[in-house]
Amino acid sequence: MDNLLAGLELLARWDVLFALLVGSIGGVIIGAIPGVGPAVAIAILLPATFSMDPIVGLTMLLGIYGSSMYGGAIPAVLINTPGTAVNALTSYDGYPMTERGEAHRAVSLAYSASFWGGMFGIVCLILLSPVLAKIAPMFGSREIFLAALLGIILVILAHRGQIFAAGMLAMFGIFLQTIGLDAVTYTQRYTFEMTFLTSGINLIVVVLGLFALSQAFFLLTAPDEKPEAKPVIGKMSAGFKELLKHKRVATVASGFGVILGMIPGTGEFTAQFMSYTYAQKTSSTPEEFGKGSPEGLIASEAANNAVPAAAMIPLLALGIPGEALTAMMLSVFYVHNVIPGPQLFQNNIDLVYGLYIALLVLNIMVICFLMFSTNILTKIIRIPTRFLGVMILVLSLVGVYSLRNSLTDCMIGAAFGVFGLILKRLNLPIVPIILGMVLGGIMEVKLRSALPRLKTPLDMIDRPIAFIIFVMIIVVLALHIRTLIKEYRARQPQEDNAIHDSQTR
Amino acid sequence: MSRIKTLQSLFKRYRRPGDIVFAWFFFVLSIGLLTQITDQTAYRAGSSMMAQPRFWPAVSLVGMCFFAALHLVGSILSERIEGRWKEVILWLSVIEFAAWFVGYAYVVPIIGYLPATVLVSLLLVVRVGYRSRTILFSAVGVAIIIVLLFKTFLQVKMPAGQFYDSLPDGLRQIMLIYF
């Protein structure tokens, strides 16, 4: 309780509340515009938050992260184009509802399910905190190394059908973070005697290139479109009543969101698919799924909105990000010398609770905002896509150039932008590169600090938590091989050559 | 033949035109980088293998080569999708927009953040095909809002333009600090 009050005190500042308001409303707007997405927005805003207090900068980014999926549901339901990549499943049932004249019902249901998922995630986070505070100190260098390794393996395996590509890109990310002067031996690694490579390749520059600039290039080279969404008439709070009829689906879906959000590398997509499958299997009308089933819509939205709170768990407790957005937020912690990990719970517990409460307030702010702003947002959706591309390109400069006013950074960012565009056009994932960079760095540091205590390789897993993580790694790999064999025996996969931009914005 | 067919079914998914070009590029890049490992990293005698500065570049590059080779095998065994070179030309055409971005960064310290942003936004919307007055005015408006938000309000570190030095005293000060 004292910790909660301390967290509340940390938030009771005008600048924090303002940052939260800007972040949450900005997040909804960004989420509602197809083609932007929270990763682009967070990447652009990151350097601007470095000059702010950690709690101010973090609440703003958290606001964008937590609220973008609310906004993303609007175009998913109204024009069959998910605003953010994780709203893809929402359009499966949301759009058919719009087509049969139930747009108001679908949008209000999406809002209420999102709110349910968001709040469920935060309550779980708060309830889990005392347990985390006890477990986190048991994580030493070996355990964090193994957890990061598990994260890398899961990130690769989560990209079903693209495991080789995800593997090579994750390894590329690990390689990128080794470039520069080695911090321990002061020897050069892959600098090719070029001075600008001595300090290494900056994560933010890579993130901005891969997410923001590549999206700008993608929009600038694609045919111009101007999505049209019709206004929605009716009270937005109506969805809450209907949601209560499906509270089992909403709660289980939120549960999937929390569990999968905690596991690095899995996140919203897996949570959505699992909860959608669960909802369909247990529904009395499974044939309605994909044709405008409210249960399908609820399962999808509740699951993806429960993830942000859960994704904060590995980030705060172990310093291990599970996906690209939390990886970006990790850099804000580092810039302010607040190192997430076991010690955060001992030294900065007020910050941890402050972030929890910020998430809580954010969900309330967003739902209040959405109650009257839906029709304004349907107008914002109509921005022509190439115009949006120009604006993302212009905004990307703020992110890259304001870091250290370096033209070289801009060139590296532009090169990663072109690389990111190629990946997007090829349906290849971007996230493994970012997580490879972040988790690769963590693995290198933690393995080095664990080495003096390792006499034999078995010493790596001679502590209970380390052994449990090791068993998890083995189980994950074994399960994957089993699934591969099953799929291989079952049927030939279908050809699919369309562009899928999941996990790329 | 049947063996190749079953391998195909294991490897082939979500492919798009140009996949094999990228697969070859990445494979050659990985091999090329791996061949440089002795030149580009150091070996410290007396240290254990895992503490070597060469260890992590070696792990990542071997991993890159391994996965890139499998990805390439997958691409080779998959059916060819039409439009490979058209797709590659599109990738190359993006270099123009990358040049716009670098050019934008280049002119900021010369003419200043506000004029550079307005100019680039305006020219770029014309370049991508917009001619309507509404879009042109919107581009200028959004450019000004971006500068006001980031430079004036959030005070992000952007260099002051050399051009500002030639402005009259009072205006110069304002432009140097806020725009």
pLDDT in tens, B51-90: 888 999 999 999 999 999 999 998 888 878 888 888 899 9
Tokens describing residue A33: 């515009």
pLDDT bucket at B3, cuts 50 / 70 / 90 = very low
Q: Which of B16, B40, B101 sits opposite A190 (nearest CB)?
A: B40
Per-residue model confidence as pLDDT tens digits over A382-434 = 888 899 999 999 999 988 898 888 999 999 999 999 999 999 898 888 889 99
Per-residue model confidence as pLDDT tens digits over A64-109 = 888 888 888 888 888 877 777 677 788 888 888 888 888 888 888 8
A residues 343..402 contacting B (CB < 8 A): 384, 386-387, 389-391, 393-398, 400-402
Q: Where are the domains of chain B?
A: 2-82, 94-178
Per-residue model confidence as pLDDT tens digits over A461-485 = 888 889 999 999 999 899 888 888 8
Q: What percent of chain B has pLDDT over 90?
A: 55
Q: Judging by DSSP bridges, how do beta strands A188-189 and A180-181 pair with one another?
A: antiparallel
Per-residue model confidence as pLDDT tens digits over A151-191 = 899 888 887 778 899 999 999 999 999 999 888 888 899 99
The per-residue pLDDT for A175 is 96
* A493 reaches B (C-beta below 8 A): yes
Contacts of A192 in chain B (CB under 8 A): 40
Question: What span, in angstroms and rounded, lies between the C-alpha atoms of B129 and B131?
Answer: 6
Taking the CA of residue B170 and the nearest CA in chain A, the distance in Å comes to 26
Contacts of B108 in chain A (CB under 8 A): 397, 401
ipTM of the complex: 0.91
Q: Which of B9, B33, B154 sits opposite A493 (nearest CB)?
A: B9
A residues 161..200 contacting B (CB < 8 A): 161-162, 164-165, 167-168, 170-172, 174-175, 178, 182, 184-185, 187-192
Q: Which of A51, A213, A393 sits opposite B124 (nearest CB)?
A: A393
Q: Is the sign of the CA dihedral A97, A103, A104, A108 positive or negative?
A: positive
Specify the higher pLDDT residue, A468 or B172. Answer: A468
Question: What span, in angstroms and rounded, lies between the C-alpha atoms of A339 and A353?
Answer: 16
Choose among A121, A137, A130, A30: nearest CA to A388. A30
Q: What is the CA radius of gyration of chain B?
A: 26
* B36 reaches A (C-beta below 8 A): yes
Q: Judge: A418–B51 Cβ closer than 8 Å, yes or no.
A: no
Choose among B22, B96, B121: nearest CA to A162. B22
pLDDT bucket at B119, cuts 50 / 70 / 90 = very high
A357 neighbors A11 (Cβ within 8 angstroms): yes
Specify the higher pLDDT residue, A234 or B90. Answer: B90
The per-residue pLDDT for B11 is 46
A residues 29..48 contacting B (CB < 8 A): 47-48
Per-residue model confidence as pLDDT tens digits over A5-57 = 877 787 788 888 888 998 899 888 888 888 788 888 888 888 888 878 888 88
Q: Which of A171, A190, A418 sits opposite B94 (nearest CB)?
A: A418
User: Is residue A473 exposed (0-12), middle (13-18) or buried (19+ Cβ within 10 Å)?
Assistant: middle
* Helix/strand/coil for A181: strand
The per-residue pLDDT for B10 is 45
> Which residues touch A51 (CB under 8 Å, ≥6 apart)?
B154, B155, B156
A residues 409..448 contacting B (CB < 8 A): 410-411, 413-415, 417-418, 421-422, 425-428, 436, 440, 443-444, 447-448
Contacts of B159 in chain A (CB under 8 A): 405
